[in-house]
Amino acid sequence: MFKNESMEGAKTELLRPDDGGRSTVYGTKGAVACEHPGAALAGIRTLDAGGTAADACVAMAACMAVLAPMTTGMGGDAFLLFYDAKTGEVVGANGSGRAPKEASIEKLRRSGIKDMPERGGLAVTVPGAVRLWEEAAKRLGRLPLSDLLEPARAFAEEGHVITDVVARYWKTAEALLGKNEAASRCFLPSGGAPSPGELFFQPHLAKTLGAVAENGADAFYDGEVAASIAKSVRDDGGYLSEDDLSSHETTWVAPISTNYRGVDIHQIPPPGQGIAALEILNILEGFDTGGFGATGAERIHHEVEAKKLAFRDLFEKVGDPEFADVPTDEIVSKEYAAELREEISPDRASVPSVGPRLGDDTTYLCAVDAEGNGCSFINSLYMGFGSGVVADGTGVSLQNRGHSFRLVPGHPNSLEGGKRPMHTIIPGLATKGGSLWATFGVMGGPMQPQGHAQLMSSLVDHGMDAQTAADHPRHVHDHEEDTLLVEGRVPEREIEKLRSMGHAVEAGADYVVPVGGAQLVRISEDGVRAAGSDPRKDGCALAQ
């Protein structure tokens, strides 16, 4: 068997181009990876125009709000991690919104509601993405926000062609969109979801993007747009007010991190679930994961068991640290991981903790610029088309992030006015010896911490290049059903081993949506950018 060397010497089987599929995209200056080629092109053009990695990510995120409106949008939340090449520092931004100030468990209980609604006005929290777009451009970029939003505005006004994956997601949301008049007008203008190859226009969203481009984020959080958002939510039974919108601010945070076999992995701190990704990696570090077969039952078993333990903490201990005492330092400590590791049997599956359903519609994108700055960026509506509520006249779908709150007084993630819910969306960034090593993410609800750990193990333990790591068979454990979905490229003998260990295994197709979509840019020691984009999505990687 022919072999090739990864960028740091580890050997892996040669997978491409001999076996077909995508190859890693290499460059020496800037690089981007995104799940839609139109957005990726906007990102690389932003770098061509002198923008930073953060500028490129804002441009791509805005484009995705138009191109894939079921997964992301101006009515959602966003987070970022940014590596500053001059200082070697990593900074984070929490662009998530809070529950309406008027919301409370008592009000919902009096209405006969036992659990947070999945859709509708009561599930809407303040959308934080637009404020983060503006602040990222101001703090971390070089180009004006108007320039960064122009490609998205043009897609909305002049039309964009519907891609295959987007069309499939859109089709599944027809019933939801049909329940809201404004949503139907915006997204089902012909009575049904658009088809692949169809040209689609979003004039109301183009107008909203234009207003923000001209007047900044205040045009979204104050004035006509904010009034429409608040009214649309309240007309649908929610509590969101114009004051909730006007008082929203992005929170800049110090990332949390752990070292995994010499590579520092950075995540946004709670209320995000990045803490679970670090916990999984800490647990796995105590096993010979590099000695497990890359698609072997032993590797999958240990990753799943580590995930179960991390999610137990996620469901029981994580919430908004402004309202709850979250033991972050303990959860991400090596000592705690060593204790948890003792609970893992090498050949028997354990029973997972029960937790709430978590949304899975998100867009992740990343960029590295010519100066070596890196940006990892994620933007989401939580579930497909979020709450199903569209702010009349704006084209803005509003997220249903509030669904993840618990109606249990005293729980770290209990509903309270002004509180941020536990968040699924997590950008990832890695450094080594103070230098940027990778910007990465794996979108897809509860798959995200699992995907981050699997992707890092593929890169670090198994020496895969960027595209091979994105392509590699992944698996996802469903805590609700205690089922394990593995992709069809996992050998049957390994699937049978997993079943003999007690895992309820479902073997899917070769590439399946529930295992998420990965995007990443790796940086070698000599500065070469190596970018990969998941074939489970429509997108691509591009480099200068």
* SS (HEC) of 432-468: ECCEEEEEEEEECCCHHHHHHHHHHHHHHCCCCCHHH
- Which member of 362, 394, 439, 468 is catalytic? 362
How far apart (Å, rounded) are the C-alpha atoms in residues 59 and 41? 10
Q: Using alpha carbons, select from 436, 440, 478, 482 the residue that is nearest to residue 457.
A: 440
Residues 6+ apart with CB under 8 A from 355: 311, 314, 315, 479, 480
Active site residue 424: no
How far apart (Å, rounded) are the C-alpha atoms in residues 310 and 278? 9
How far apart (Å, rounded) are the C-alpha atoms in residues 528 and 543? 10
- What's the DSSP call for residue 250? -
Phi first, then psi: give them for residue 93, nearest 5 degrees. Answer: -135, 130
Contact status, residue 82 vs residue 375, Cβ threshold 8 Å: yes
How far apart (Å, rounded) are the C-alpha atoms in residues 207 and 225? 10
Three-state DSSP class for residue 470: helix
- What's the DSSP call for residue 122? G
Q: How long is the chain?
A: 544
How far apart (Å, rounded) are the C-alpha atoms in residues 500 and 274? 31
Q: How many CA atoms lie within 13 A of 273 on its CB side?
A: 31
Three-state DSSP class for residue 24: coil
Tokens 């949304």 sit on residue: 359
Q: Using alpha carbons, select from 349, 290, 293, 300 the residue that is nearest to residue 495.
A: 300
Q: How far is C-alpha 201 from the geometric centre of its chain's CA atoms?
A: 26
Tokens at 470, concatenated: 């994105």
Tokens at 207, concatenated: 């107008």
Tokens at 177, concatenated: 């969109």
Residues 6+ apart with CB under 8 A from 433: none
Tokens 């740091």 sit on residue: 8
Q: Which residues of 62-81 are buried (b: 16+ CB within 10 A; e: fewer)?
A: bbbbbbbbbbbbbbbbbbbb
Contact status, residue 352 vs residue 308, Cβ threshold 8 Å: yes
The residues assigned a catalytic role are 362
